[in-house]
Amino acid sequence: MEETLKKKDKILSAADIRTTFHTHGRTVQAVRGVSLYVESGEILAVVGESGSGKSVLMKSVMGLMPDNAEVKADQLTFAGQDMLGMDQEQLRKMRGKEMAMIFQDPMTALNPLKTIGSHLMEVLKRHRGMDKEAAKKEAVAVLNQVGIPSPEKRLGQYPHEFSGGMRQRVLIAMALCCKPKLLIADEPTTALDVTIQAQILDLLKSLQEETGMSIILITHDLGVVASLSHRIAVMYGGLLMEEGTTEEIFYTPKHPYTRALLHAVPKPHSGSKERLEPIPGMAPSLIDPPSGCPFAERCKFACERCTKEIPQYRTYSTTQRALCIYSGEELDHKEGEVESHG
C-alpha cells in the first residue's frame, strides 16, 4: 500500500538510462546507467561539472537525442505513462505540453526572425488548440506571470529587443503555456549576470510554488541550489555519484566527489578571504571511460580496487545513496588520518 502510494507521487521515474553516441566510428558513453526519480511538486537539482552528462541525460529523457545517439533504459515512466513504449509522435506530443525544457543560452534559443508573440502562440495553438485571439490573450497572461513588463507591447517584438534575462523569462513563459507537470531547466542561468541569475532562480522557485509543477534544475554550481532544491543528485562521468535531500548533501555528504564539490562552493557567511578549493584534475574522457570508478583519477581516497570495478551504491537513508566503495564513516575516518598525517 505504502509502496503504491509512493510510486504515485513520482512524476518521473527512470531506471538505468544509458546513452551512447556513435560518431566517426567511435562511441561516447555519455550516460552510463543512471537511475533517478522526481517527486511531484519538488525541485530536484542535478549537479556536476560540465561534461558529466547532465544535458545528455535530460535530453534522453525528453526524447531529444540526435540520430547518432542510442538511448537505452530499463524503465522510464512519466506521470504513470510508460515512455519507453511510446513512438516518436507520442513523445513529440508530450514535449512542451506535459514536460517542458529550457536551455542554457537564452540568446540563441529563440528564432531571431519571429516575434516573442508568435513563439508563445505557436505553442498554445499546437498543444492547447487555441485560436489566434485566445492564444494572444493567454500569451499576455504568461508573460505577465514571468514578470515581463508591458506584455502586450512586448508580444510584437523580436528576440533581439530583449536582454538575456528577459529572453530566459520568455522561454520560461513558453514552458508555462501548457502548465507542464515537469519543467527541466538546463543551466538556465549559466549565461546570465549574477544579479539576473538570482532573479531567474527566484522566479523558478515561486512559479514552482504557485503551480505545483516539478522542476529538474541542472547546474554545475552547488552554491546555486542550496536554498532552492528539495533534493540533489550529483553526476560525474556519466554516472550518478550521490543523491539525497538538500540537507543530506550539504550536511552529511558521503561521496568524495560531493565533498570535493562542497569545498569548491563559497560559504555564504564566511569572509571573502577564504580560498576556494578547486577540484584538481580534469573530468574523465567518456570515449574510453575508465573501467572502475570514474572519479578515481582525482580522488584522494582512491585505491587499487577503485580502478578495477564500478562500485555499488550504498544506501544511507530512504533518500540518500552514494556510489563509492567506502562508506561515509570510513571516509570520515580516512579524512582524519590524512589530516593528522599531513
Partner 1 sequence: MARYILKRILTAIPMVFLITVLCFALMHFAPYDAIDAMTTPKMSQETINLIKAKYGYDQPVYVQYIRWLDGIMNGNFGYSIVTKQSIASDLAVRLPNTVKLVLPAYLTAYFLAVVLGLLAGANKNKRTDKIIDAISSVGIAVPSFWFAMLLIFALGYKLKILPIVGMHAVGKESSIADFLKHFIMPFLTLTVSFMPANIKYVRSSTLTQFSEDYVMVQRAFGATKSEIMFKHVCKNVLLPVVTRFGMAFRLLITGSIITETVFSWPGVGPYFIKAIQGMDYPIVMIILVLSSTMVILGNLFSDILYCLIDPRIKEMG
Ligand X SMILES: Nc1ncnc2c1ncn2[C@@H]1O[C@H](COP(=O)(O)OP(=O)(O)O)[C@@H](O)[C@H]1O
Confirm or reject binding of residue 327 to partner 1 (CB under 8 A): no
Among the residue ranges 52-60, 145-153, 157-165, 196-204, the one whose residues contact Mg ion (CB under 5 A): 52-60
Place of cell 585505491: 303
- The residue whose grid cell reads 528564432 is 111
Alpha-carbon distance 196 to 172, whole Å?
A: 14
d(CA 102, CA 96): 10
What DSSP letter does each residue of 191-228 carry, written as one string? TS-HHHHHHHHHHHHHHHHHH--EEEEEES-HHHHTTT
Q: How many CB atoms lie within 10 A of CB 191?
A: 19
For position 55 contacting Mg ion by CB under 5 A, the verdict is: yes
Considering the complex, state which of residue 124 and residue 283 has its C-beta at the smaller distance from partner 1: 124
Task: Please report whether residue 236 would count as binding ligand SF4 according to CB under 6 A.
Answer: no
Restricted to residues 159-178, the positions that interact with partner 1 (CB under 8 A) are 160-161, 171, 174-175
- If binding is defined by CB under 6 A, does position 54 make contact with ligand X? yes
Exactly one of 77, 204, 293, 328 binds ligand SF4 (CB under 6 A); which one?
293
How many angstroms separate the CA atoms of 196 and 94, rounded? Answer: 30
- C-alpha cell recorded at residue 273: 578571504
Q: Which residues contact 64 (CB under 8 A, 6 or more apart)?
A: 95, 101
The footprint of Mg ion on residues 205-264 (CB under 5 A) is none
**Is 51 one of the binding residues for ligand X (CB under 6 A)?**
yes
What single DSSP character describes residue 113? T
Amino acid at 55: S
Site string for ligand SF4, 244-263 (x = CB under 6 A): ------------x-------
**Distance in angstroms (rounded) separating the CA atoms of residues 144 and 152:** 9
CA max distance for the chain: 73
182 in contact with ligand SF4 (CB under 6 A): no
Least Å from the CB of residue 148 to partner 1? 18
Q: Closest approach of Cβ 204 to partner 1, in Å?
A: 17
Could you say whether residue 250 binds partner 1 (CB under 8 A)? no
**In the complex, what is the shortest distance from the CB of residue 300 to ligand SF4, in angstroms, rounded to a whole number?**
8
Residues at the contact surface with ligand X, assessed by CB under 6 A: 21, 23, 28, 30, 48, 50-56, 66, 286
